[in-house]
A and B are shown apart, each in its own frame.
Chain A
């Protein structure tokens, strides 16, 4: 058969070869079918480790108690026992070295997350003692009168 008949075939073969070469260069070596099969597990295996390596920022009260045993014991015996340290003090991150100080939130808005009174009898919210922040001493910080580590005690004195 004449060469002009074969020529398009050569062109196609060259294109296929180029695609295959490009594929080996561009697709990572660990790309493949994972344990969940072709439909759900087709991925780059190295990415799982990348997600595992994300930095842990909230280290929980079990980390804080190593140095702040007194504070930990006080709040654990108070009506605020369930609240974690980092909810108000911010994530521990590399504390105490980095950051040296934590982002302590003493705002009225923080307390109002739970203590803004909502009359929802069918929800746990309705069982929490609450106030209306607009009428309940709007000019003061909550911590002026209420000690957050034990709300039965009086707050910060200036």
Chain B
């Protein structure tokens, strides 16, 4: 037989217990707290200024040589796209040889060896957009890897373990930006890694160093004094395919709606 006093006590206890939100019971993760407090570990991000890019393709050449990507194979870690929007509202995009040798023709490469000539008077606007791995905060390529061969480091760069990759190609399919490819020599998935061997030595990436126009910049988002951080936090930057929820970390200045 339950007494009135004990019934009231227990009721209050249960009601009070239910009122405690689940989040209040979450234990503090010391590593997370340390990461938020300690500003030492960098978070590498990239800033592309499309106003400055002229489509010379030195970045693609530099990347291919630096990272030993077969020069004449049609694979690359970075590339430059040309967008020509004509007065009839149509968008023409091409990237011949990933712009490794720049753009040697004013006509648009529409594939299968065919070119479309566009007259000077027809052009509404034309510009160049460099592309590379977005080193997403939510990388779908890492989620789909069945063997743990691709992963994200503490500083935000997504790497591929060439010894562990089985070459199944799920990550190449999973990347919404199409930055991954199958390495023709090593027979594994490959992608831009922000020149991990350079940025960890305090250098710039090979593409940043080879760009004569300052269109590309690599920076540390956890350093408030970094010029890239300042640009990302104070200027009007945009990212590619935000709707996919991948939280891309390559920021673009002057991105036009035609760029996908």
Q: Are A and B co-members of a single complex?
A: yes
Chain A contacts for B163, CB-based, 8 A? 44, 47
Distance in angstroms between the alpha carbons of A60 and B228 in the assembled complex = 20
Q: Does A155 contact B (CB under 8 A)?
A: no
CB-CB under 8 A for A113 and B57, given A56-B203, A60-B209 = yes
- Whether the pair A113, B102 counts as a contact (CB closer than 8 A) is yes
Chain B: CB-nearest residue to A35: B154
Q: CB within 8 A of A58: which of B103, B120, B149, B206?
A: B206
- Whether the pair B53, A43 counts as a contact (CB closer than 8 A) is no
- Whether the pair B210, A58 counts as a contact (CB closer than 8 A) is yes
Shortest C-beta distance, B253 to chain A (Å), equals 12
- Whether the pair A52, B154 counts as a contact (CB closer than 8 A) is no
Distance in angstroms between the alpha carbons of A41 and B151 in the assembled complex = 5
Shortest C-beta distance, B66 to chain A (Å), equals 5
- Whether the pair A91, B209 counts as a contact (CB closer than 8 A) is no
CB-CB under 8 A for A82 and B31, given A40-B152, A125-B54 = no
Q: CB within 8 A of A40: which of B104, B139, B149?
A: B139
CB-CB under 8 A for A82 and B212, given A51-B197, A91-B65, A123-B126 = yes
Shortest C-beta distance, A33 to chain B (Å), equals 10
- A56-B201, A118-B106 provided; 9 other pairs, C-beta below 8 A? A36-B154, A40-B143, A54-B197, A57-B65, A58-B66, A82-B214, A86-B210, A91-B65, A123-B51
Q: Which 3 A-B pairs have the closest CB atoms?
A: A43-B151, A113-B102, A54-B197
